[in-house]
Amino acid sequence: MILTLAREPPARLDMADITPGLCAQKSAREVAALKLPMGRERPALGDFFEVSDEEPERLVVRESGPRLGGLGARMADGKMLVEGDAGDLLAAGMRGGEITVRGNAGHHCAARMSGGRVTVEGDAGRFIGGALPGHMRGMKGGAVVVHGNVGDRAADRMRGGLLVVGGRAGAHCAARILAGTVVALGGCGPRAAVGMRRGTLALGSADTFEDPFFHPSGRYAGVFMTLLMRHLRGLDERFSRLPTNCPSQRCIGDASVAGKGEVLVLELPPGGLGGPPATA
Amino acid sequence: MSVPLGGVVINGVKIEDVFAEAFAMTATRIVITAVSYKWAQHAAENTTGFATSIIGCGVEADIERRLSPFETPDGRPGIAVLLFTANKKELARQLAARIGQCVLTCPTTALYAGMEGDDRVPMGDHTRYFGDGHQIAKRVGGRRFWRIPVMDGEFLCEDSTAVSPAIGGGNFIIMARSQAEVLQAGEAAIDAMARLDNIILPFPGGGVRSGSKVGSRYKNLAASTHERFCPTLQGATASALAPGVEAAMEIVVNGLGVQDIINAMRAGMQAVCHLGPANGITGITAGNYGGKLGKYEFHLWEILGDRL
């Protein structure tokens, strides 16, 4: 099904209920008649979108913009393509399926996500994979790939899953992380991993990581890194030039909270990901 | 293939009209990788040591085959090992002991599940405690691993592996005019069978010189020598050996499925028949318990293609 935004909503339109699974079971007319939360109002989807039955294999949102909130938030399966930007809460609560956003994503992307796969080809806002206000835990499963940069507080209180940032993460990346893996190939801003309990933060070699509560534990080139690199190469073509293994400088912390997480500063080859692709 | 009265003969080797009786078992495959085949082999050989029969060893295990770096999760040389037990509980117990003593201890190794499925037994989920609180759990691509700090860095071990119903005790017995000739035939059969996937030959080198029967005159023994196949007892028992047969050898094969056993037994018996009487081979038979114990019957004539 294709939803083409014809009239921009005057406020944030909550698209969480619009899933590939739902659209597969309804006709275009039925989907257009669905009521969606927009502040105190509940307009019909058809008030803003043109709906067509084409593309039966997936849900496509065209001319998408930042006022479309919660895209994919209740997805459990199926595929969604967002041609344009996505608003806040993209894939927040997603349990399965795949979403691809051709543009940028707003804040709180993948909050409470527990499964599935999200790809943002542009940038993403703050708190990606992090906990929502009032919640103690963020993303707990699935994989999120952002080709560009992400804002502050990425993976804040993350509980599991994988977040890969092709560009740079903002400040407080992986702060208070409980588990999971965050890879920021372009490095990150200050105060990364503060309050880290467990989990892994891997940083591109653009930065050196320094924190008095993280203890250096030498050079790391274990088999886990081989598995991670291989997984990343297969996850997104953008990472196909990652090496077979990537030694790193490892620190354990955050000791101020008795944490046993790790920060790995990757020794990427010169030129970053511009070298020949790995053979295995 | 000529068909004389009383039996099937292939290249001069008489194939008796009998079946091998085999048993339902539970099995898993694990994959050991290391920096080189040499070190993976050390770990695999130790893991599959003292693992010939569940009667005395608790598990029947052996190396299935080498894996190229392109076949392993981490791109390093690897070895696939199959383990067969009576039940899942015993398999978990044996895995915990053998991983902890034989794989964890071996330099540069990592350990992965070699089988997919929902029915699983723990691997790293037991071994992780060796990390004494410093172990790390990671999930990559939907698979869960444990990273256990050790002296040479980390031992990476997958959390669990799947189990599968399997079959143990497929067999055939080679009869020959001398020990040297039965050994030659046994080795040819073993070489042919060892090339196949999904099977192992759990006994030392793949052959059994002490084929047994159920029961004993001694109360404490579950099994005892199969006197009908002992050449030195031909005058004292109702021998199954024809005059002139001076030695026999049993080849036992465990496999993941019926067709795997059939393929292996066929390959082994064909290798024996190829040697023929010119190399002292007189016949092939098989061991069974009258069909009263095992769930599976592998008929030699059916396996070799014709049944009269």
ipTM of this complex prediction, to 2 decimal places:
0.91
Chain B residue with Cα closest to A142:
B142
B156 and A179 within 8 Å at the Cβ level: the answer is no
Distance between A26 CA and the closest CA of chain B, angstroms:
32
B134 and A227 within 8 Å at the Cβ level: the answer is no
Q: What percent of chain B has pLDDT over 90?
A: 87
A227 and B74 within 8 Å at the Cβ level: the answer is yes
B75 and A244 within 8 Å at the Cβ level: the answer is yes
Cα-based distances in Å from A4 to A22, A65, A66, A73: 17, 11, 14, 19
Interface test with A, best of B31, B112, B139, B146 (most A CBs within 10 A): B139
Partner residue facing A223 (CB), from B74, B133, B137: B74
A54 burial via Cβ count (<10 Å: 0-12, 13-18, 19+): exposed
Q: Which tops the pLDDT comparison, B55 or B115? A: B115
- Contact of A79 with A57, CB cutoff 8 Å: yes
Q: Quick check: A279 pLDDT over 80?
A: no
Q: Does A160 touch chain B (CB under 8 A)?
A: yes
Residue A274: the pLDDT is: 47
Tokens linked to B292? 């009263």
Interface test with A, best of B138, B143, B150, B159 (most A CBs within 10 A): B138
In the structure, what pLDDT confidence band is assigned to residue A153 with cuts at 50, 70 and 90? very high
Chain A residue with Cα closest to B35:
A223
- If you ran DSSP here, which 8-state letter would residue B177 be given? S
* Calpha distance B22→B82 (Å, rounded): 17
**Geometric angle at alpha carbon B102, from B96 and B106, rounded to 5°:** 130
3-state SS class at A178: coil
Paired sense of beta strands B281-285 and B164-176, if any:
antiparallel
pLDDT digits (tens, 9 = 90+) for A55-64: 889 999 999 9
Distance between A114 CA and the closest CA of chain B, angstroms:
12
Contacts of B269 (CB under 8 A, 6+ apart): B15, B172, B189, B284, B300, B303, B304
Q: Does A231 touch chain B (CB under 8 A)?
A: yes
A222 and B154 within 8 Å at the Cβ level: the answer is yes
* Calpha distance B245→A24 (Å, rounded): 74
Partner residue facing A280 (CB), from B33, B69, B136: B69
B147 and A224 within 8 Å at the Cβ level: the answer is yes
A224 and B134 within 8 Å at the Cβ level: the answer is no
B156 and A222 within 8 Å at the Cβ level: the answer is yes
- Contact of B40 with B77, CB cutoff 8 Å: yes
Lowest mean pLDDT among A55-59, A177-181, A272-276, B170-174: A272-276
Q: How many CB atoms are located within 10 Å of the residue B176 CB?
A: 28
In the structure, what pLDDT confidence band is assigned to residue B263 with cuts at 50, 70 and 90? very high
3-state SS class at B202: coil
From chain B, pick out residues whose CB is under 8 angstroms from the CB of A117. none
Q: Does A247 touch chain B (CB under 8 A)?
A: no
Distance between A166 CA and the closest CA of chain B, angstroms:
18
The model carries a pTM of 0.92
B74 and A226 within 8 Å at the Cβ level: the answer is yes
Tokens linked to A4? 């083409």
Distance between B36 CA and the closest CA of chain A, angstroms:
14
Partner residue facing B145 (CB), from A224, A244, A260: A224
Partner residue facing B154 (CB), from A179, A223, A231: A223
Rounded to 10°, the helix B179-194/B258-275 angle is 140
Q: What percent of chain B has pLDDT over 70?
A: 97
Q: Quick check: A280 pLDDT over 50?
A: no
pLDDT digits (tens, 9 = 90+) for B198-219: 999 999 999 999 999 888 999 9
From chain A, pick out residues whose CB is under 8 angstroms from the CB of B31. none
B154 and A181 within 8 Å at the Cβ level: the answer is no
From chain B, pick out residues whose CB is under 8 angstroms from the CB of A142. none
Q: What's the whole-number mean pLDDT along residues B68-83? A: 97
List alpha helices for chain A, DSSP H: 20-25, 28-32, 223-235
Q: What's the whole-number mean pLDDT along residues A212-236? A: 94
Q: Quick check: B82 pLDDT over 70?
A: yes
Average pLDDT of chain A, as a whole number = 93
How many residues does the structure list for chain B?
308
pLDDT digits (tens, 9 = 90+) for B130-189: 999 999 999 999 999 999 999 999 999 999 999 999 999 999 999 999 999 999 999 999
Partner residue facing A223 (CB), from B110, B134, B136: B110
**Geometric angle at alpha carbon B244, from B240 and B245, rounded to 5°:** 50
Chain B residue with Cα closest to A143:
B141
B75 and A181 within 8 Å at the Cβ level: the answer is no
Q: How far apart are the first and last CA of chain B?
A: 12
